[in-house]
Amino acid sequence: MKIALLGGTGDMGEGLALRWSKSHEVIIGSREASKGAKAAADYLAKAKAFYGDSMAGSISGTSNPEAAAEAEIVVLTIPHEFAASTIMSIKDRLNPKQVLVSPVVPMIKIEKGMVYSPIIKDGRAISYAESLAQELQGIPVVAAYHAISAKKLANPATILNYDVPIAGDDPGAVELVTKLTKEIPNLRPVYVGPLRASLMIESLTPMIINAAIFSKIKDASIAFVQ
Amino acid sequence: MKIALLGGTGDMGEGLALRWSKSHEVIIGSREASKGAKAAADYLAKAKAFYGDSMAGSISGTSNPEAAAEAEIVVLTIPHEFAASTIMSIKDRLNPKQVLVSPVVPMIKIEKGMVYSPIIKDGRAISYAESLAQELQGIPVVAAYHAISAKKLANPATILNYDVPIAGDDPGAVELVTKLTKEIPNLRPVYVGPLRASLMIESLTPMIINAAIFSKIKDASIAFVQ
């Protein structure tokens, strides 16, 4: 499967590239194609060193629009402040057969810690993922990977005992993201409802950051406990 | 310590009454004093049967305003739809030396599942707990207990291996709620920041409900995982 990681030169991009390149064709997108290619070469060397002969996938790099046009799955591994310009640059390259995955979280720094800052539209709070689906009519959007420690993800030897809440309206797109999530040892995908439920998932990120700041629970994620 | 559980005739009230009556004076508040007294008698019988001679606390029942006036800690164990009328009825009985604990979550049922519905004020999303603190100027508000299974809480033999995210601006009030939380085996209080961070905590409730609906993870709570 061809997976584009837009803005994939960051921690989150590195982690997903290292994890998924075991079996998939990963394409690192960047604002400059040369930066995407450079990061891809770096990740590829790490992936080869880790997987050796069992590596069946690949990692290449290019510009964000090129990466988006080629892939079956497009993941927005970018901070919220760069999301609008990135979407603008790839918008014309997307088609309804692709799946767009958003781990993007709009949040703001307050005097002490971080707080979630959802988009206010028609007097109601909506998630970034929802606003994206409204903007890109027809492209299936799935919200996932908001609460994974990028640092831990970037070490393919680290086992991640987390739950990954997933939200989306398109059953096929959700199934695909569920499958890709299960391929990362020991991530457990948990479907928590239609795309509107991404409002709750995006909230997790600032809460986890604050747990690190105020309660010294560093590089954490969450799990459902029964 | 005197703890009022307003609207304490529900599941959440029963659970906290059974847990805290081991050491504290619990007062069940209800819209009708007679209902509060009836529930209190029922819970007291259960608590005595469970704790036997080791029970050092008590459970009594009365009206919400009476319960609120008497207690050092006032917990709003009420659904969001009854919160406004309850607050209206107790507002004049509160004083700044008390601590008000809010597990209240504004949420709405959508076609599939539940979604968090924060209050929109001056173009920004704020939590119910924040709106409460704005309304009750001077009364310390702490957000906690949004993500505990009421069913499991109500069985004092059940050990709860959960994290309890807590948010609040008043250090003394937060410390008190932290202490009370630790008294329930094995709940782990996790301070996640000032009251504005309660926006993220309140989000947990509809996400957990949806995990039960869509992924069969019933009566769950959450834990931070490192």
Is the confidence at residue A11, as pLDDT, over 90?
Answer: no
In a domain, A224, yes or no: no
| Percent of chain A whose pLDDT exceeds 70 | 100
Give the pLDDT score at B84: 93
Q: What angle do CA B152, B157, B158 make, to 5 degrees?
A: 35
In a domain, A90, yes or no: yes
The chain B residue lying nearest A189, using CA atoms, is B215
Residue-averaged pLDDT of chain A: 96
The number of domains in chain A is 1
B-chain CB neighbours of A162 within 8 Å are 225
In a domain, A156, yes or no: yes
| Percent of chain A whose pLDDT exceeds 90 | 97
In a domain, B30, yes or no: yes
CA proximity to B156, closest of B224, B54, B71, B35: B54
Is the confidence at residue A201, as pLDDT, over 90?
Answer: yes
Please give, rounded to a whole number of angstroms, the shortest distance from the CA of B225 to a CA of chain A. Answer: 5
Q: What is the three-class DSSP state of A184?
A: coil
Amino acid sitting at position B101: V
The chain A residue lying nearest B218, using CA atoms, is A226
Task: State which residues form the domain around B171.
Answer: 2-215
CATH number at residue A37: 3.40.50.720
Give the pLDDT score at B11: 87
Q: What is the three-class DSSP state of A39?
A: helix
ipTM for this prediction: 0.95
Cβ within 8 Å of A, B 105-134: 110-118, 120, 123-125
Backbone φ and ψ of B62, nearest 5°: -160, -160
- Contact of B196 with chain A, judged by CB distance below 8 Å, is answered with yes
User: What's the pTM?
Assistant: 0.95
In a domain, A62, yes or no: yes
User: Using CA atoms, how far apart are residues A52 and A55, in angstroms rounded to an integer?
Assistant: 6
User: Using CA atoms, how far apart are residues B33 and B8, in angstroms rounded to an integer?
Assistant: 11
A-chain CB neighbours of B153 within 8 Å are none
A-chain CB neighbours of B220 within 8 Å are 224-226
Convert the pLDDT of each residue in B108-146 to its tens digit.
999 999 999 999 999 999 999 999 999 999 999 999 999
- Contact of A200 with chain B, judged by CB distance below 8 Å, is answered with yes
Q: Contact at 8 Å (CB) between B96 and B74?
A: no
